[in-house]
């Protein structure tokens, strides 16, 4: 998993613990990024001091430098004690992550076509521009990119770039129109199931995929659960 995506999931799940960033070939202890309920409270720049010099003044700038490196191995340990080494003014990392993760909006537009787009994880407000908030609100229900751009709520190209970013961090699903056969299959039903059978299947799967049922799931597992839940919801809406 990309470091920025890992950090996105940790922060948006309000996790506490230590993200360890180990620079390959650097004979030093890993960089510690301490999270408390999803916010960065400390960032130990010391391992980079001898190669990059003094730490930038703000924690956001330090994190941006680290996330842009491609020679770093990342892992997260929620059992490590928070030692407050390199304390910084607490900040949510979402805005830094958006600055680092910049997928091509035009490529997303070409690929998305008439697919239905929907938010599956609300992004932290710090990474959403004022002119994008209405677009995010619209994505609470399935929309096409054309529908978003037709509103002219943001500058040309802004909606595509926003959706490309949200998809990259796992906060947006891109679903082409389901066939009836595919919808029945997603809900684990035989073709032609009646309305009551469809409702029961949806409720059963929704309960199975709910986060509360999987409190110890890893970030990757949680992301897969969210993807499956979005697919189940789309199938249900296709059939009812």
Distance CA 111, CA 174 (A): 10
Residue pair 236/202 in contact by the 8 Å Cβ criterion = yes
Which stretch of 62-71, 139-148, 186-195, 205-214 has the lowest confidence by average pLDDT? 205-214
CA angle 9, 128, 99 (to 5 degrees): 70
> Both tokens of residue 53?
């010099």
Q: At what angle do helices 195-209 and 219-239 cross, to 10 degrees?
A: 170
Q: Where are the domains of the chain?
A: 3-99, 102-175, 180-239
pLDDT band at 6 (very low <50, low <70, confident <90, very high): very high
CATH number of the domain located at residue range(s) 180-239 in this protein: 1.10.287.110
- Predicted TM-score (pTM) of this structure: 0.73
**Rounded alpha-carbon distances, angstroms, from residue 152 to 69, 100, 104:** 36, 26, 20
pLDDT band at 27 (very low <50, low <70, confident <90, very high): confident
Distance CA 86, CA 82 (A): 11
- Residue 162 is predicted with a pLDDT of 96
DSSP H or E run through 159:
helix 158-168
Percentage of residues in the chain having pLDDT higher than 90: 64
From 72, 64, 1, select the one nearest 30 (Cα to Cα): 72
**Rounded alpha-carbon distances, angstroms, from residue 139 to 49, 168, 176, 198:** 43, 16, 15, 25
Which stretch of 17-21, 111-115, 163-167 has the lowest confidence by average pLDDT? 111-115
> Both tokens of residue 176?
């082409």
Instruction: Say if residue 86's pLDDT is above 90.
Output: yes
Q: At what angle do helices 105-112 and 158-168 cross, to 10 degrees?
A: 80
pLDDT band at 2 (very low <50, low <70, confident <90, very high): confident
| pLDDT tens profile 158-170 | 999 999 999 999 8
Instruction: Say if residue 56's pLDDT is above 80.
Output: yes
- List, in order, residues 6 or more apart from 48 with CB less than 8 Å away: 23, 28, 31, 55, 65, 66
**Rounded alpha-carbon distances, angstroms, from residue 146 to 71, 75, 156, 235:** 38, 38, 11, 22
Bridge partners for 17 per DSSP = 35
Distance CA 204, CA 32 (A): 41
């Amino acid at each position: 998993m990309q470091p920025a995506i890992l950090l996105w999931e940790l922060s948006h799940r309000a996790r506490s613990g230590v993200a360890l960033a180990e620079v390959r070939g650097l004979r030093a202890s890993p960089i510690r990024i301490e999270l408390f309920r999803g916010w960065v409270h400390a960032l130990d720049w010391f391992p980079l001091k001898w190669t990059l010099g003094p730490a930038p003044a703000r924690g956001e700038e330090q994190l941006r430098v680290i996330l842009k490196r491609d020679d770093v191995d990342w892992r997260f340990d929620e059992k490590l004690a928070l030692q407050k080494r390199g304390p910084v003014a607490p900040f949510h990392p979402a805005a830094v992550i958006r600055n680092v993760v910049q997928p091509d909006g035009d490529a997303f537009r070409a690929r998305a076509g008439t697919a239905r787009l929907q938010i599956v994880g609300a992004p932290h407000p710090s990474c959403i521009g004022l002119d994008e908030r209405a677009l995010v609100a619209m994505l609470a229900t399935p929309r096409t990119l054309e529908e978003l751009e037709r509103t002219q709520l943001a500058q040309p190209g802004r909606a595509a770039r926003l959706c490309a970013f949200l998809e990259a961090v796992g906060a947006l699903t891109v679903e082409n129109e389901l066939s009836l056969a595919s919808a029945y299959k997603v809900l684990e039903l035989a073709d032609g199931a009646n309305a009551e059978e469809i409702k029961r299947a949806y409720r059963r799967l929704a309960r199975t995929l709910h986060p509360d049922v999987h409190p110890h799931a890893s970030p990757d597992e949680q992301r897969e659960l969210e993807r499956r839940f979005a697919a189940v919801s789309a199938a249900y809406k296709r059939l009812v």
